[in-house]
Structure 1
Amino acid sequence: MTATTGSSVPVALTIAGSDSGGGAGIQADLRTFAFHCVHGTSAITCVTAQNTLGVTRVDTLPPEAVIAQIEAVVADIGVQATKTGMLHNREIIAAVADRAEVLGLDNLVVDPVMVSRTGAQLIDNDAVMCLQSKLIPQAMLVTPNRYEAQILSGLPIHTLDDMRAAAQRIHKLGAQAVLVKGGGMPGSLRGVDIWFDGNRLETLTAAMVDTSNTHGTGCTLAAAIAANLALGKDLRSAVRLAKDYVSNALLYALSIGRGQGPVGHFFPLIRKNGDR
């Protein structure tokens, strides 16, 4: 159950893949939770060999191993919010969806990691359909990027109106709210997000940050939303606070490796060290 334990510390759970380069996935989620003074717990779905240049190998855990991690955390510690990331295949998605329902995982933020920012599909069509029919209907919020929103909605997305139409179509899958992210949009639409909760259709903007080091922004945003929900914030406030956090983290993105570096999750420390 998600009932709170005797601990006075808010707890969040991330169900996602491991990024050996440390920029996204479980590593980014746990850093984000820690920044928000939320205790981070995790269920790892797959282990990737990757760095700033890309992914060279993915090893997927058995669904039973993923479920065992979730149940171990919930049974003893309890969680106030849950975030999902890369679930990788239909079997894991179905297993996670089943446990989310049985255990009553509240404040569920689904980052539907199925298409990269460049448009490359990461999971097969059976997994996509399972995500649509079993997990998204349980979500408090689903946070697709441009290409994921195209698949989930079945609509091409090139304009702001396209984003609005996609958000409304995705909402019909059953999530309480949808945040279509504009990070993959061209020109002035980059970084403009669309929020729809069945009543309010809203455009959310943030200051543009000129950096190529954006690895892990999607994971970080969803994790920050979950962290704020664990802290007791309402959903719209959690989204706005998370967007502000990501904007600051982008200002202090890390130029590491020979490719796309990650955002600076602990930007106050980076800023302080840079002042010395």
Structure 2
Amino acid sequence: MKKVPSVLTIAGTDPTGGAGIHADLKTFQECTAYGMAVVTSVVAQNTEGVRNYVNVSLEMLEEQIEAVFDDIYPDAVKTGMIATPEMIEKIASLLEKEDVPLVVDPVMVATSGDSLMEKETVQLMKERLLPLATIATPNISEAEILIGKSIRSLKEAEEAAQQIVEETKVKATIVKGGHLTEEATDILYTDGKWERFSAPRTETKHTHGTGCTFSAAIAAKLARGRSIEEAVSESKTFITNAIAETLAIGKGNGPVNHWASRLKKSDIVVENARQLEG
């Protein structure tokens, strides 16, 4: 029997299902990988914002991770919301013992603008977790925090991606371009070169969980044996469709459509432009 690829997410919850482990599990399923989840924080949030959250104990965090690895060894792992330095240290100390592709989505602020991470956690993420990772997936705001300066152009996004790789020793970084250009353009830096992944932009407020979904798709693709570049390209198409085929759910910033790629309503083309080596 052919082995089913499995993926583990280590992240917070979203009771409305648009972000966090709920979005990750939906994405894993759509990318034909078996999804597993370790809860870091129980979050009271909806499409309008974060109301409160409670972090699980370090003991429970460790026991969840060990329970997974002792039974169903994942083919890839992704991390999302990790609220405290102690959690970062605990997760890093466990994952550094394993040989598994790791996607780090440095979740710092929710789509609604609510902070999800203590300030002291950022530096420890750079020192302990990112060096273990295959790829980091910050958006513009998160990349600015990681490098300590603003990003106002694609050129500066390229420089940020390179700086994150060089400073943290993560293997690759993709900086999600946000609204820097008319198209939705993301910058990947790995192995001394940049690649741009561009797709048409959909004007919608329903983008809740885009970062979680994109990084989860990359993790699922890596679990299926894709290269970093292939995983990013396929995941860019996945998230572009998910945003384009909006569900219009919720009173605020609604969730993306995780099964949009199966609808085949949109003729979406993601352009991949490789640049010269740095």
Q: TM-score, normalised by structure 2?
A: 0.90
Q: Which amino acid is 2:120 matched to?
A: D
Cα distance in 2 for partners of 1:187, 1:122 equals: 27
Structure-2 change in CA distance of 1:151 and 1:268 (3 Å): closer
Q: Equivalents in 2 of 1:121, 1:148: separation in Å?
A: 11
1:72 aligns with 2:67: yes
Distance 1:65 1:45 in 2: 9
Measure, in 2, the Cα distance between the counterparts of 1:268 and 1:237: 17
Letter in 2 for 1:130: L
Equivalent pair of 1:82/1:226 in contact (CA under 8 Å): yes
After TM superposition, the runs of 4+ consecutive aligned structure 1 residues lying more than 4 A away are 117-121, 268-272
Task: Quote the offset at 1:121 in angstroms.
Answer: 4.3
2:180 maps to 1:195: no
Secondary structure at 2:199's aligned position in 1?
Answer: coil
- The partner residue of 2:156 within 150, 159, 162 is 162
* Contact 2:103/2:133 (<8 A) preserved: yes
AA aligned opposite 1:142? A
Following superposition, the deviation at residue 29 of structure 1 comes to 0.1
Q: Is the 8 A contact 2:50 2:114 kept in 1?
A: no
CA contact (8 A) 2:175 2:188 kept: yes
Match of 2:213, as an amino acid? Answer: T
> What is the CA–CA distance in structure 2 between the aligned matches of 1:65 and 1:271, rounded to whole Å?
41
Distance 1:198 1:233, change over 3 A: closer
The match for 1:96 among 91, 94, 101 is 91
CA contact 1:155–1:162 (8 Å) conserved in 2: no
CA distance in 1, matches of 2:25, 2:169: 28
**Which residue of structure 1 lines up, in the alignment, with residue 135 of structure 2?**
141
CA distance, structure 2, for counterparts of residue 86 and residue 112 of structure 1: 7
One of 231, 237, 250 as aligned partner of 1:238: 231
Report if the CA contact (8 A) 1:171-1:198 is conserved.
no
- Residue identity (%): 42
CA RMSD of aligned residues (A): 1.8
Deviation at 1:254, TM superposition (A): 1.5
Deviations 1:130-154 (A, max 9, x none): 1010000010000111111011112
Indicate the residue corresponding to 2:11 in structure 1.
16
| Aligned match for 1:204, one of 182, 197, 211 | 197
Does structure 1 retain, via aligned residues, the 8 Å contact 2:50–2:112?
no
The answer for unaligned runs of 5 or more in structure 1 is 1-5
Q: Where do 5+ consecutive residues of structure 2 fail to align?
A: 266-278
1:1-276 alignment to 2 at 5 Å? 8-102=3-97, 104-117=98-111, 121-172=115-166, 173-183=168-178, 185-188=179-182, 191-267=184-260
Shift of 1:122: 3.0
Paired position in structure 1 for 2:270: none
CA distance in 2 between partners of 1:105 and 1:60 (Å)? 27
Q: Is the 8 A contact 1:248 1:267 kept in 2?
A: yes
Q: How far apart are residue 155 of structure 1 and its match?
A: 2.2
Aligned length: 264
